[in-house]
Chain A
Amino acid sequence: METTSDEALMAAVRADDLDQLVPLFERYHGPLFNYLTRLTNDRETSEDLTQTVFERILKYRGSYQPTQPFKAWVYQMARNVHADYWQRQQKVRAADVDVAEVERTGGLRGAAFSQMRVNNHHDDLHEALDMLTVPQREILVLNRFQGFGYEEIGKLLGCTAEAARVKAHRALQALRKIYFAN
């Protein structure tokens, strides 16, 4: 059985054959939900965000270039969706929390994860992950859970593969320090 490539399916979606999004949804909604959940640590939010990603795929289908890998394109979209969400959260938080406090704990830390759920024996790990900056956590998630190589991570984050490798190393080291400090 031959399966149609992601790129061919997305090219069809781009040409208004919207039903071709169904196989892409089947292939990607699990991994995307996974990715977003690990970033937000919130199931409900991640379900909404995953839905938003597919909504944006339809809305902006015209911006897809059939020459670019679909995976990179869709993860870029997921990153943007998460970034938008994170910014909204930041604003909400800034409205009722002392701004200085946010500054002190580091601009990229924690804001989106106030609703985190600690309810199993992976608590320590979640707590440790939550203490990483978003970029650190993201690179670990991409590297460890999403099966991205450094080349792909580099393209997604806008840096070289080598820089991605160094970042991944530093993120894991930071996690180790937090994890074993507890």
Chain B
Amino acid sequence: MNCEPLKAQLVDYLSRQLTAAEHAALTAHLAGCAECREELQAMERVWHTLGQAPVPEPGPQARPAFYAMLATFKDELETTPDYSLQGLWLRLRAWSIPRPALRLAYSLCLLGVGVLGGYWLNSGSKTAAADQQQLAALAAQVGEMRQVMLLSLIDNPSATERLRAVGYTKELPDPNSKVVNALLSTLNHDDNVNVRLATLEALTPLAQADATVRLGLVHALAQQDSPLVQAALADAMVQLQERRSVPPLRRLLKQENLDNMVKSKIEQSIQTLSDGPPAAPATPQRHDQTQFSPQPARAALAV
């Protein structure tokens, strides 16, 4: 009798993967075949020995190493704009853009980057530099499209969408004046406090380099009624060392029903702004002056 097909079932017998019928047939054959019984015994021993081999456990450093790696990836994801086709596509999908035409335009722009990117990856080093240049140009176009997207979303009825639009500011290295105006308008007129706060947060870094934004923020002081935004604006003014904000801040102090916390925050801000930059080394003389004049008007007069 040919034992080979049955011998091939021994592993399954050991790992209990035989059907009931197969199992019965094999058992019947084993009863009458010494050679197969011997084979089974030998296999069983190997199988058993294998099973007794100690289970290797990962060392204690595996987990910390993993978390460190994960943190690195998360940082990269947050800080670097992802120009890979996949990254852009994921963003595109996450945006849930309301206007089909815009979506189409944006997709076509992405397609351009993707095609060229693919071409660039496939082409040799000869043309790599030129193609990289073109890729950068297309990436700039994507930046422009982002501005358009921001403008289209910032009037969305959903506060979540508006927050998302404001969030795009971070990804715009050089927002145009339309974007800046839209953001300033949102800061002054959006009825959601969170959106206004996020807008202020997005505008403050821009104000470092952009005089329009700085002035916009100064004027915004008079427009705010939320204590949270008032306090955040006062903070921003200190951060920017914007002395022109002192008069509007003083006017805010005269407002009725001004929150007490905001009141002391504004007083503190006026004080700091009038004293000059806190980081600047203060001469002893100036320090004395400050002490003797509790209401310095130097900065306010300078405006």
Residues of A with Cβ closer than 8 Å to B?
A: 15-16, 18-19, 21-22, 25, 29-30, 33-34, 37-38, 43, 46-47, 50-51, 54-55, 58, 62, 120, 122, 125-126, 140, 143-145, 149-150, 165-166, 168-169, 172-173, 175-176, 179-180
Contact = CB atoms under 8 A, between A and B. Distances in A.
Given A58-B70, A125-B53, A173-B43, A50 B62 contact: yes
Contacts of A176: 42-43, 45-46
B286 interface: no
Contact of B56 (A33, A165, A168): A33
A54 B61 contact: no
22 contacts: A15-B90, A16-B90, A18-B77, A19-B74, A30-B57, A33-B57, A33-B58, A34-B56, A37-B56, A51-B65, A58-B73, A62-B90, A144-B51, A145-B55, A150-B17, A165-B8, A165-B12, A169-B7, A172-B43, A172-B46, A176-B45, A176-B46
A166 B69 contact: no
Given A18-B74, A34-B55, A140-B50, A51 B66 contact: yes
A18 B76 CA distance: 11
Interface string B27-46: 00000000000000011011
Which of B9, B51, B62, B94 gathers the greatest number of chain A CB atoms within 10 Å? B62
A43 B51 CA distance: 19
Contacts, number: 97
A125 to B, nearest CB: 5
A81 to B, nearest CB: 14
B168 interface: no
B79 interface: no
The 4 A-B residue pairs whose C-beta atoms are closest, nearest first, are: A62-B86, A37-B56, A33-B58, A169-B11
Contacts of B54: 120, 122
Contacts of A38: 56
B95 interface: no
A172 B14 CA distance: 11
Given A34-B55, A54-B66, A175 B17 contact: no
A144 B11 CA distance: 10
Nearest to A43: B56
B281 interface: no
